[in-house]
Amino acid sequence: MITMFPIASVVGGRRDPIDDDWGDETATIRLDKARFTPESLRGLDEFSHVEVVFVFNQVRQNEITLDARHPRGNPAWPKVGIFAQRAKARPNRIGLTTCELIGVDGLDVVVRGLDALDGTPVLDVKPYMAEFAPRTPTTQPQWATELMAGYW
C-alpha cells in the first residue's frame, strides 16, 4: 500500500472524456496552496516541456482492466495486455503526458496538450530533459500509429 497526496489539480480544459484532438487544449496545473509556494516551481519556466503524472480519477474500480483487450474496443486492432497500451482503465489509473509549457505564474503551471480532464489530481510535474528521452530508435506496432493518428 502506498498513500499519495496530489500535489496539484488540473483546472480548466476538457470536461468530457473524449479521446481525440487534445493537441490544442490548454489547461492549468494548480499546486496545492496548503503545501507549496512558488519556490517549488522556481526555474521550471526555463524548460519548454514538462512531464505530468496524474490519476484518472473518473475511472471506476470496476472498469479497470487487468489483462488483454482491444485498444478502444476496436476489433480491427489486436488484443493486447493493459501494459502494452495506454488505456485509462488500468491498474493504479496513472497517466503520464509530456506537454508544452506555456508559462508559470505563482502556483500555476499552464500547459498545452495535457490529456487530463478538468479536476484531475496531479501526482507530479517534472521538467522534460532531452537526455531522458529514448537513447535508441523507437518502434511501435501499426495499430498504435493508427490509434494515435487523430489524438493530438
9 near ligand SAM (CB under 6 A): no
Which residues 91-130 are close enough to bind ligand SAM by CB under 6 A? 95-97, 115-117, 120
65 near ligand SAM (CB under 6 A): no
For residues 119 and 9, what is the distance between their CA atoms, to the nearest angstrom? Answer: 6
Stretch that binds ligand SAM, among 26-34, 52-60, 62-70, 137-145 (CB under 6 A): 52-60
SS3 content of the chain, % helix, strand, coil (to 5): 20, 30, 50
Give min distance, CB of 114 to ligand SAM, in A: 8
User: Helix, strand, or coil here: 85?
Assistant: coil
28 near ligand SAM (CB under 6 A): no
Output the nine-digit C-alpha cell for 120.
484531475
In the chain, how long is the greatest CA-to-CA distance?
49
For residues 74 and 151, what is the distance between their CA atoms, to the nearest angstrom? Answer: 15
- Residue 72 has φ and ψ, to the nearest 5°, of 55, 20
144 near ligand SAM (CB under 6 A): no
64 near ligand SAM (CB under 6 A): no
Nearer to ligand SAM, 84 or 96 (CB): 96
Residues that bind ligand SAM (CB under 6 A): 17-19, 56-59, 86-88, 95-97, 115-117, 120
